[in-house]
Every structure is written in structure tokens, then in C-alpha cells.
């Protein structure tokens, strides 16, 4: 628990940077699982600073994003491709072919095969070293909404009403928010060597209490992280205020 989201974000970015530097020294790749949304933006800001001011190189980093709305064009205002380019990739030296974000432009009949290939690419890269997560008010991680199974894999999912409400302002109205998304599964996330879930602000306090102290159950998918042996929850004071 940190006094501010900015201090907490620096800490998380520092941990990611340490792993990248260690791997770079031994000529190995680092595989990162990345999230979008408001929560990780300061982590990405700090990683960009470390790249610019301290020579942190992302040439050996491979990334897999958690999710993308479906359908979604990469150049749309709300696309996670655009988000990641603006908040991170346009500002660092990561080779384009090492970046993976679920494709929101697929024909529906090709999605299952695409999702299987996404999983295969993560495995072929050696698995996720660190997965960064935010949490939705429904308790979703990625877009694994209530009802998601612990062994779920990358797939097309229907978004919860609350999630669509929370995204309404980004889309200028709830009716414009896509009803579905492609997301890594809970099982995909749990396979990561290390998981860091972040949450800031009082709006997240009730769901953080459920996620951290509640029973493990499919109604709150973030509770599955309680069974991961290297998962950490990083909060600011406000998001932690309902913990007992």
C-alpha cells in the first residue's frame, strides 16, 4: 500500500525494468503481459522515462496485451492498439513484431483459431514473465467478467453491463460501447510467473476488498489470483481503505 498511485507506479516500473536489465545482460528476452486503461498509465510513463534518461532498452522485450474490444479498428479512438502506441510503444525501442495485441478486426468465424494462436505465441515466447493487471468494478481481470472459469483461455467474451457503463464516457455513450471483447483467459493470466494487480482510488476499494479478502469464486474472477503463488496487489491508500 503506497501513499500515492505515482509512487506505487514507479515501484512497479522499477521491478519491470530490473527484470528487463537482468535479461538484457544475459542476452535473454523478457515477456511482458500488459494492460490498458487508466491504471497502468503512470507505469508506462516511468518506463518511457527510464528508456529516455537511463538507457533502458526494450529491444529484447516481447509483449502480449490482455484484451481488445470486438469489433474494433486499430486506428479508432478507443482501440487498445492506439492506446498502447500512445502510452508506450511509440516512445520506446521495441521492435514492432514483438508487440501482440488481440485483433479486433477479425471475421467472427476466425476468432477461435486466432485465440488458439495467441496462446501458442505466448507459449512459444517462453510464457509471461510478468503480467500487469488493473481490476474492473465487476472484479474482472483482463475482460474476464463474472462467470469466467479459472482455466479459461483467450477467447471472445460478452462484456458485463457495469463494464460497458464504465467505458461509456470513452465511447460518448453506453450504446456505442462494443458488447464483446477478445481477452486472455484467467488460466492464461494464472500461468504468468509473476502477476502484479494495481488499483488506485476509492472507487476500487469495494472490489479490492472482495478480490483480496473474499472467498475464491467465479462471480469475482480477481479472487482466483489468491491461488497464484507469486501475485502481488499494489494499492494507493484510497483503494486499500476497505481492507480489514
Q: Please give the residue ranges that form the binding site for ligand F6R (CB under 6 A).
A: 35-39, 66-67, 134-136, 140-143
Which position among 145, 213, 232, 241 bears the catalytic label? 145
CA dist., res. 128 & res. 131, Å (int)? 7
Q: Which residue is nearest to ligand F6R (CB)?
A: 134
Distance of closest approach, residue 114 Cβ to ligand F6R, in angstroms: 18
Q: 147 in the Ramachandran plot: left (φ > 0), alpha (ψ -120 to 50) or beta?
A: left
CA dist., res. 127 & res. 102, Å (int)? 17
Distance of closest approach, residue 60 Cβ to ligand F6R, in angstroms: 23
Q: How far is CA 30 from CA 7, 22, 39, in A?
A: 24, 9, 22
Distance of closest approach, residue 28 Cβ to ligand F6R, in angstroms: 26
CA dist., res. 133 & res. 171, Å (int)? 22
Give the three-class secondary structure for 189: helix
Distance of closest approach, residue 183 Cβ to ligand F6R, in angstroms: 7
Q: Cβ closer to ligand F6R: 28 or 165?
A: 165
Q: Cβ closer to ligand F6R: 52 or 169?
A: 169
CA dist., res. 177 & res. 159, Å (int)? 9
Q: Cβ closer to ligand F6R: 27 or 144?
A: 144
Instruction: Confirm whether 218 is a catalytic residue.
Output: no
Q: Cβ closer to ligand F6R: 20 or 102?
A: 102
Q: State the catalytic residues.
A: 145
Amino acid at each position: 500500500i503506497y501513499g500515492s498511485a505515482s509512487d506505487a507506479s514507479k515501484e512497479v516500473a522499477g521491478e519491470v525494468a530490473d527484470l528487463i536489465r537482468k535479461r538484457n545482460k544475459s542476452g535473454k528476452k523478457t515477456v511482458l503481459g500488459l494492460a490498458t486503461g487508466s491504471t497502468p498509465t503512470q507505469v508506462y510513463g516511468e518506463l518511457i522515462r527510464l528508456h529516455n534518461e537511463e538507457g533502458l532498452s526494450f529491444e529484447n522485450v516481447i509483449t502480449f496485451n490482455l484484451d481488445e474490444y470486438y469489433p474494433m479498428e486499430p486506428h479508432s479512438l478507443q482501440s487498445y492498439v492506439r492506446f498502447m502506441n500512445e502510452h508506450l510503444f511509440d516512445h520506446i525501442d521495441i521492435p514492432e513484431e514483438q508487440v501482440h495485441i488481440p485483433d479486433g478486426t477479425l471475421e467472427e468465424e476466425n476468432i477461435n483459431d486466432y485465440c488458439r494462436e495467441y496462446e501458442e505465441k505466448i507459449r512459444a515466447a517462453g510464457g509471461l514473465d510478468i503480467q500487469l493487471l488493473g481490476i474492473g468494478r465487476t472484479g474482472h481481470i483482463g475482460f474476464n467478467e463474472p462467470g469466467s472459469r479459472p482455466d479459461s483461455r483467450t477467447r471472445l467474451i460478452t462484456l458485463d453491463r457495469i463494464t460497458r457503463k464504465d467505458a461509456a464516457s470513452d465511447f460518448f455513450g453506453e450504446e456505442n460501447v462494443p458488447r464483446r471483447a477478445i481477452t486472455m483467459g484467467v488460466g492464461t493470466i494464472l500461468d504468468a510467473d509473476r502477476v502484479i494487480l494495481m488499483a488506485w482510488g476509492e472507487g476500487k476499494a469495494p472490489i479490492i476488498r472482495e478480490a483480496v479478502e473474499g472467498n475464491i469464486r467465479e462471480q469475482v474472477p480477481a479472487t482466483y489470483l489468491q491461488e497464484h503463488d507469486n501475485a502481488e496487489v499494489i494499492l494507493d491508500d484510497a483503494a486499500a481503505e476497505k481492507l480489514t
